[in-house]
Structures are given as C-alpha cells and as structure tokens.
Amino acid sequence: MTASWNIGGRSLRSRLLLGTARYPSLAVLQQAIRASGAEIVTVSLRRESAEGRAGSQFWTTIKELGVQVLPNTAGCKTVKEAVTTAEMAREIFETPWLKLEVIGDDYTLQPHPFLLVEAAEALCRRGFEVFPYTTEDLVLAERLIQAGCKILMPWGAPIGSGQGLNNPYALRTLRARYPEIPLIVDAGIGKPSHAIAAMEMGYDGVLINTAVARATDPVSMGRAFGLAVEAGRLAYLAGAMPTQEMAEPSTPVTGTPFWHSSPPENLK
C-alpha cells in the first residue's frame, strides 16, 4: 500500500472515498465499505432524515466501521439551505468536515458557481473544513481557494452518469495549476479504469457512490475500486512512460543478425 496522506487534518491510508446512498441494504453497504478499504464515507443529512434513519440503525452501522464521516449538503440549491444543512450536520455527525453541494442545474446536477463560492465563504468563516463539489473550471477553483477552501472536488462527469473523465485536459490543467491543493475527483466515475485514470493524473483521491452501490455485486466492486485507486497512485508515483507517435522496439537490435538485401541461399 502507498504511504498515508493528510487531508483535513487527518492522516489516512486509503485514497478512496465512498458514498453511502442507494445500496440494497445496510449489511451490503457495510461489507462494501470494508472490502474497499475506504476510510471516508459521505452521508446526506437530508436523505437520512427523510428515511427516518438519522441517529438510528444507519448511524450505528457507520459508527461501527470507525470511518471518518463526510456529511454533504446534497439537494441544496441556495446558500441558506446549504448553511442550515451544514450546521445541522455538524451537530448530528460531530464533525466540522463538510462536502458542500449547491446545485445550479436540475438536469446535469452541475454546481452553481456563484452560490457555491458564497456558501463556501460563509461556511469557512464558521469553522467548517469545506470539501466543495465543483467543476474543473480554473477561475472557480481560484475563487473557492480564496474563500478559504483547502480542498477541491472537481467532477469527472455529471453525478451518477458513469461517463468517467469527460474533460481530461481541464482536469490535468487544474492539477498542474494547484500542485499543493488536495484534489479529489467527485462524480461521474463508473468503472475502476476511470478511477485509475484520475489517479494517474496525480489526483489525490476519488469519490465513488453509484458505481459501487448499483453494481451487481457491490462488495466485489468496492474492492475493485480500492485496488484501482491504489494501482493508479502507484503508477503516478512510479512515473508513466511518455507517449510518442512512432514505434520503438522493446528488444535492442544491436548485435542481432540482419540482411541488407536477401537472406543467404541456405536460409531461403
């Protein structure tokens, strides 16, 4: 396993973050988290409250795993909604960590850039460790950092779409622009190979939910993503070979026989 990393004031081994929604049962959720090795799980305060599980069996299940909870403001569309939800989450889950979502488009679930920055400023002033769900836009990234965010979570593709990394150029550019800021690809990853691609770019982690929860076998898929994140990180640290236009022989030709024209008569 690769070396531990520090995020939000904690030292962790796994670079996989796992969502907790849409699993067929609490037992499967628990098994999938364990199989993946994830040490951070996201929890929607609105969803758990709506389903009557906040502080009860669901919360007990999460506590038994000993993982770091990252509450999120899923479903919020205004700054007031996001701030109110965040304050409730901090009290219930006993953590200042917060995945900030302020949705601006119902079809793509794309973050609202202006309201996201406004909410981030308000929550950072209130002492939250804000993990903003954002796009790969450089200007928006800079505004979020100026607002006080020490971590960014750009999307790979729309939430739950499974499309992977729709704009690898922009993601690579974002990584290069902010080498010291922890960057976690959030949303749109559908396969372990997508996670590997993100980690090979130098991203610090990936957050997965639907791809694991809706798999035929969520437990095995959780393990697959855990291994993929590990493999991608190792590949990044090892230094991948550069791409090139022409072929290059992997076997040296020096000292091997060759003929300028035709082979000798006895070999015809």
Angle of the 113-125 helix axis to the 138-147 helix axis, nearest 10: 20
* Spatial distance between the Cα atoms of 253 and 118, rounded to a whole number of angstroms: 62
Question: What residue type is assigned to position 208 of the chain?
Answer: I
Q: Do residues 26 and 217 lie in contact, with contact meaning Cβ atoms separated by under 8 Å?
A: no
Give this prediction's pTM: 0.87
| Digit-coded pLDDT (tens) for 218-246 | 999 999 999 999 999 999 999 988 888 88
Q: Do residues 68 and 45 lie in contact, with contact meaning Cβ atoms separated by under 8 Å?
A: no
Q: State the average pLDDT over residues 3-29.
A: 90
Which residue in 18, 47, 17, 8 sits closest to 131, CA to CA?
8
At 45, is the pLDDT very low, low, confident or very high (cuts 50, 70, 90)?
Answer: confident
| Digit-coded pLDDT (tens) for 149-205 | 999 999 999 999 999 999 999 999 999 999 999 999 999 999 999 999 999 999 999
Please give the positions annotated as active site. Answer: 99
The residue count of the chain comes to: 268
Which residue in 100, 112, 94 sits closest to 73, CA to CA?
100
At 53, is the pLDDT very low, low, confident or very high (cuts 50, 70, 90)?
Answer: very low
| Digit-coded pLDDT (tens) for 131-155 | 999 999 999 999 999 999 999 999 9
Contacts of 200 (CB under 8 A, 6+ apart): 232, 235, 236, 240
What Rg, from alpha-carbon coordinates, does the chain have? Answer: 22
